[in-house]
Amino acid sequence: MTQTQTQTQPRPSPLVSIENIDIALPAGSDRKFAVSGATISIDRGEVLCIVGESGSGKSVLASAIAGLLPGDGLQVTKGRLLFDGQDVLSLNEPQLRRLRGARIGFIFQEPMTALNPLLTVGRQLAEALEAHGHPASPARIGELFSAMQLPEPETIGRRYPHELSGGQRQRVAIAMAMACGPDLLIADEPTTALDVTTQAEILKLILALRVSHKLAVLFITHDFGVVREIADRVAVMQNGEIIEVGNARSVLDTPQQPYTRRLLAAVPTLDALRRPSLTDRVALLELDGIEKTHAARRGFFAAKGRSVIALDGVDLELREGETLALVGESGSGKSTLGQVITGLIERDAGHFRLFGDDIARAGDLFTSQRRPAVQMVFQDPQSSLNPRHDVRRILTEPVLRAGLSKAEAHARMAMLLARVGLDASVADRKPHAFSGGQRQRIGLARALMHQPRLLVADEPVSALDVSVQAQVLDLLAELQRDLGLAMLFITHDLRVAAKVADRIAVMQQGRIVEAAATDDLLHRPQSAYARALLAAIPGRAHEADFPHLKRLQRDTA
Amino acid sequence: MKRRLSRPFLTLPVLFGLIVLALLVFCVIFADLLYPGNPWRMVARPNLPPLSPGFPAGTDMLGRDLAAGLVHGSRATLVVAFSVVAFAVGLGSAIGLAAGYLGAAIDEGLMRFTEFFQTIPGFLLTIMIVAIFSPTRWTVILAIALMAWPPIVRVVRAEVLSLRRLDWVRAARVSGLSHIRIALLHVLPNVLPQIVVQSSLLLASAIMIESGISFLGLGSRDAVSWGFLLGSGRTAFSVNWWLSTLPGLAIFLTVLAFNLVGDGLERWLDPKRSRRAGP
Amino acid sequence: MTRVARSQRHQIQGIAAAYGRAFGLRLAKAGLTLFAVIVLSFLLVRLAPGDPALILAGDQGGSDPAFVDELRHHLGLDGPLLFQLWRYLQNIASFDFGISYRDQRPVLDIVLEKVPATLLLTGSAFVFSIVLGVTLGALSARRPGSAVDVVITTISVAFFAMPMFWVGLVFIIVFAVKLGWLPSYGMETTAVSARGGWAALGDRLSHMVLPVLTLGFFYMSVHARVSRTALLQISAMDFIRTARAKGLSPWRIWRDHLLRNALLPTITVASLQAGQLIGGSILVETVFAWPGIGRLAFNALSGRDYNVLLAVFILSSLGVIIANLIADAAYRLIDPRLEREGKT
């Protein structure tokens, strides 16, 4: 862990050593190599994090270690790969199988799809044991589940994956990876699909296992918060190359490469914006006791399904020109609330006032006055634009239908495209020609075409890479300020909320548990849940240890 | 998206299918030029085997030219097939779009209705309808179409359901566009590739069913189709094997061609989704 | 430990109750489908041009005014439409499908004595098509693009495009007429089957070969395609990667993870095929003069014996509905995700 040890003393032979490896992509891809010239080693018992944005080759590199490269044409074309002195690249499939599961455990990103839906989790764990000649007695299985801190470890093995939560499934996956006592655990973004509080628990579990099992961990992530939480050493990857490797503290503290610096600077911190209080402004939106229950889909022949209470009495106020962040984990009801406000779904009960008028039902939002005034930005840049329409049609069709002249519509489009940082020439292209960040900019321009007064942004940056995320966030904040919009910003990430919001409302199980000015909420949280959310933010415990980081962020900003 | 472009449409099977279809179109258009007049005239000695000079497909027991029958039969067969597809695709797309777009209650009702037509023995019902009502060309077309639309509904509905959850449909709602406009001008065009693929596969099964009906001798007598030729030739199959074999070959090649082109279209337009079921 | 046992028992009871509820709903739905089939067949006769009594009496019965009058009264055709429907439902509920004028016998007897032959034919073809189809699909999914895959795919694409009755005729021409290996029509040689024993069994089997292959090859091609596609899709899924990462042997992965999941679409397709098999058996039984309900339906159609025809339609629909219930139960047995819901 300390710098002197790793750098001056002669190290024992590493557990994994990767030397100058090239992994070729299939012919016809946009670049030749998924990984090129990568050299790195993993010591026994250390946690190595590989950080990079999507497409950097980090997952491919990890898969190669146990011969698990996906079948569609990825191939190691050059270099050496040793695991505990064994040349992995020269092993045949049965030899590799003795390595996988037994000496190298894997966990993957998506707990929802990583388990076979048709077999009980106990049977799937038993398989992992039996494959390497270990007895799979119920006692042993219960013991493993218990070590993963799963509830009811003796009986949970009889459940099927769909009966477990995402966090529980990931624990089952870890149990399978740990079943045969491996030397190395390869974890490919294992917490990305989980809520922050669940993520914090899983990270804690992995760190505990590392100590109790003397385990080396190769942890792949895009999140520097997670890195700060668990890494001994860090490797940064960009376009298939390892551009920087080093002790975690030194990389995070004094990054050498400009790319690393840029990535680090893009990580939002919990510094609240200091902005004048808006309490004297007029309330645009007032919600009082909003309730919504999602009835399970039922038909005449469908058995009674469970209905889910999404909103359980929400009170909320949004003032003119204010940005309110609605923060909550999955299932908290935050997206449902956003859809109630934009009229996409009907509420069951509660008062809803917009611009001082009562909204009796969702249909009241679809009037020629109100519809343009309330607009929305969506989460997924892959699906938020109609793939068959060009940007011109996407932007102008609604305002043309609303009665704007063609000339005005086109003028407004040109103005907004420029405003969101896109060239006017993009108007003739279809969505597939754009990157995720560009699509989000188009989505933002579309929302602004109607010159709204209230903008609902539903997780607008959560699908973007960190560096792009920062740009889009800055753009949103800037536009909000310049246009004097009121904005409801829905997010699961308190760090993102801190960056844009005047006030933050924390939601849990359909209720707002705390709403306060951003600075107050971040530094003086009143509710237990807000405190838990804050504590779960990865890397936060160490934030105080990294004074350089803040300076760095100020410098690059 | 990039993938789609790199995937060639013109694979060997598709090329084969297109050549067969081109020949077919040629026969349909030039039938009257190739074999003018009534194809059912007696023109030569009876029971000439295939490849006899002037009569490439041989003649039947009354000395009628089988080649003339086959060329003219292509018309009858394809007219029925295309009409069936027009009806079935129209009905199926409308029901599928309504079921997928209009929400759970309507979906439930429409899908029960569709399921019913998928459950009952369709071919039996079709021939019952044809027999009980008079076997005209239109009865045959409507009776086949009545049983042919459910697969279209399933595909269109599934696609609309998954599209409806996408953010761009919500965005269109929030931007103030009407439901009708979104359903017809935004969602439907996105389902078009699937509809085209299904149409091609449906053409194949319509030809199959029509020839089954005609084979049983229950079909329309307005125009002679391949199935009818096959059925009427089968009584003499031990002597004149070609009378039933060659029309069957024509049906086989045509159905094969539509299937191959349909599969090719599907791979090209929609690589993610693959064929789920048979006819 | 007792607490655990109790919670386990509760869980099992809960699952059983959920199964029961789901099955009850399925049964209700099946009943409604059957009801709709009966109403549809009623409407078919009512909507047809002409006097329904004349239609039902058929070509031969229609010439006998006394018979037509009796029929009209029996079916309540002199009353209002809803009354007629009620009478029709009543008759069917008491298994009265009317009299076949041609045979002068109750229709139900005529149909029921043909059912075993059709079950033998369709059942054998069904088993043949699934077993061979899934096997071929699995072989071809092993290495997509390989020579084996290309051959299997070509075979299944070809059989999928061949009209069944044509395949039957070609089989007869080749194997019965030219080569003389197998009989071309009927279900048995009377002289041989009367003697019983192994000879009779062999005779029956030799009669079955061509019709079963004719019917089976088509559905085999469907199953080969469906299972190939399903296996390829599933082999790209995350849990297969997990299984590989656990170090499982290829055989275990194939059996427990791939095949199990890939069987689900096969079951769905198989249940859709139940209705199609009836249609197929009409064609195949006609070609091979197989004495089942398909040929009965064809003869009834040609002879305009509509009572027989409607009975075949209603009873074969019932058969399809039962087959679908079985398929549904099989699906639930494999897929635990459905056990607590009432629908697929």
Domains in chain B, ordered, with CATH? 58-269 (1.10.3720.10)
Answer yes or no: do A343 and B166 touch at CB < 8 A: no
Q: How far C93 CA sits from the closest chain A CA (Å)?
A: 24
Separation CA B159–CA B162 (nearest Å)? 5
Q: Which residues contact C168 (CB under 8 A, 6 or more apart)?
A: C210, C211, C214, C283, C284, C287, C288
- Residues present in chain A in total: 557
pLDDT (0 to 100) of residue C195: 75
For A397, nearest residue in chain B (alpha carbons): B177
Separation CA B126–CA B117 (nearest Å)? 11
Span C164-219, pLDDT tens digits: 988 998 888 888 888 888 887 877 777 777 777 787 788 888 888 899 999 999 99
> C113-343: which CATH topology?
MetI-like fold (1.10.3720)
Expressed in angstroms, the distance from the first to the final Cα of chain A is: 31
The verdict on A388 touching B (C-beta cutoff 8 Å) is yes
**How confident is residue C14, by pLDDT bands cut at 50, 70 and 90?**
low
- Hey, what CATH class is A322-344+363-536 in? alpha beta
Among residues A33, A40, A102, A42, which one has the least CA distance to residue A69?
A: A33
Answer yes or no: do C49 and B123 touch at CB < 8 A: no
Span C15-53, pLDDT tens digits: 667 667 777 888 888 899 999 999 888 888 777 776 767
Burial class of residue A482 in the structure, from the number of CB atoms within 10 Å of its CB (0-12 exposed, 13-18 middle, 19+ buried):
exposed
Residue A22 DSSP SS3: strand
Answer yes or no: do C261 and A299 touch at CB < 8 A: no
Answer yes or no: do B120 and C265 touch at CB < 8 A: no
Separation CA B222–CA A411 (nearest Å)? 62
What are the chain A neighbours of C250 within 8 Å (beta carbons)? 93
Cβ atoms of residues B64 and B240 within 8 Å: no
**How confident is residue C7, by pLDDT bands cut at 50, 70 and 90?**
low
pLDDT (0 to 100) of residue A11: 59
**How confident is residue B44, by pLDDT bands cut at 50, 70 and 90?**
low
pLDDT (0 to 100) of residue C29: 86
The verdict on C36 touching B (C-beta cutoff 8 Å) is yes
Separation CA A119–CA A123 (nearest Å)? 7
**How confident is residue B52, by pLDDT bands cut at 50, 70 and 90?**
low
Its sign, for the CA torsion C24, C27, C29, C32, is negative
Answer yes or no: do B120 and C279 touch at CB < 8 A: no
> C155-159 long-range contacts, Cβ below 8 Å, gap at least 24?
C155/C221, C155/C224, C156/C220, C156/C221, C156/C222, C156/C224, C156/C225, C157/B13, C157/B256, C157/B259, C157/B260, C157/B263, C157/C221, C157/C225, C158/B252, C158/B256, C158/C221, C159/C217, C159/C218, C159/C220, C159/C221
Answer yes or no: do B167 and A375 touch at CB < 8 A: no
Answer yes or no: do B133 and C48 touch at CB < 8 A: yes
The verdict on B174 touching A (C-beta cutoff 8 Å) is yes
Among residues B74, B68, B76, which one has the least CA distance to residue B40?
A: B68
CB-nearest to C320 from B120, B211, B248 is B120
Place of tokens 């004349």: C54
- For chain A, which residues lie within 8 Å of any Cβ of chain C, measuring from their own Cβ? 66, 68, 70, 93, 97-102, 105-106, 108, 110, 113-119, 127-128, 131-132, 154-155, 158, 160, 162, 173, 176-177, 179, 299, 301-303, 305
- Chains near B (3 or more Cβ pairs under 8 Å): A, C
Separation CA A168–CA A198 (nearest Å)? 9
Burial class of residue C168 in the structure, from the number of CB atoms within 10 Å of its CB (0-12 exposed, 13-18 middle, 19+ buried):
buried
What are the chain B neighbours of C237 within 8 Å (beta carbons)? none
The DSSP symbol for A160 reads: -
- For chain C, which residues lie within 8 Å of any Cβ of chain A, measuring from their own Cβ? 4, 7-8, 11, 18, 21-22, 25, 28-29, 237-239, 241-250, 252, 256-257, 260-261, 334-337, 340-343
Region B209-226 average pLDDT? 84
CB-nearest to A376 from B1, B171, B189 is B171
Region B239-252 average pLDDT? 83
Q: How much helix, strand and coil, in percent to the nearest 5, is found in chain B?
A: 75, 0, 25
Region B235-244 average pLDDT? 74
Its sign, for the CA torsion C91, C96, C100, C105, is negative
Q: Of the given ranges (A104-108, B130-134, B153-157), which has the lowest mean pLDDT?
A: B130-134
Cα–Cα–Cα angle for B12, B17, B18, rounded to 5 degrees: 95
* Under-70 pLDDT residues of chain A: 1-12, 71-72, 272-278, 296-306, 540-557
The verdict on A366 touching B (C-beta cutoff 8 Å) is yes
Tell me the domain boundaries of chain A: 3-265, 322-344+363-536
What are the chain A neighbours of C7 within 8 Å (beta carbons)? 155
Separation CA A545–CA C20 (nearest Å)? 61
> A3-265: which CATH topology?
Rossmann fold (3.40.50)
CB-nearest to C245 from A100, A118, A132 is A100
pLDDT (0 to 100) of residue C201: 83
- Residues present in chain C in total: 344
Q: How far C123 CA sits from the closest chain B CA (Å)?
A: 16
Residue C1 has pLDDT above 60, yes or no: no
Residue A526 DSSP SS3: coil
Answer yes or no: do C28 and A301 touch at CB < 8 A: yes
What are the chain B neighbours of A300 within 8 Å (beta carbons)? 108, 112
Residue A102 DSSP SS3: coil
The verdict on B12 touching C (C-beta cutoff 8 Å) is no
Phi-psi map region of A241: left, alpha, beta (phi>0 left; psi -120 to 50 alpha) = beta
Size of interface B-C (CB pairs under 8 A): 155
Name the percent of chain B lying above pLDDT 70: 86
Tell me the domain boundaries of chain C: 3-93, 113-343
Name the percent of chain C lying above pLDDT 90: 23
Phi-psi map region of C64: left, alpha, beta (phi>0 left; psi -120 to 50 alpha) = beta
Separation CA A366–CA A253 (nearest Å)? 52
Residue A83 DSSP SS3: strand
Span A192-230, pLDDT tens digits: 888 888 888 889 889 888 888 889 999 999 888 888 888
Q: Which residues contact A263 (CB under 8 A, 6 or more apart)?
A: A51, A53, A224, A236, A466, A467
CB-nearest to A398 from B1, B6, B176 is B176
The DSSP symbol for C143 reads: S
Task: Using DSSP bridges, classify how beta strands A323-327 and A349-354 pair: parallel, antiparallel or unpaired.
Answer: unpaired
Q: What Rg, from alpha-carbon coordinates, does chain C have?
A: 25
Please tell me which residue, A341 or B235, carries the higher pLDDT value: A341
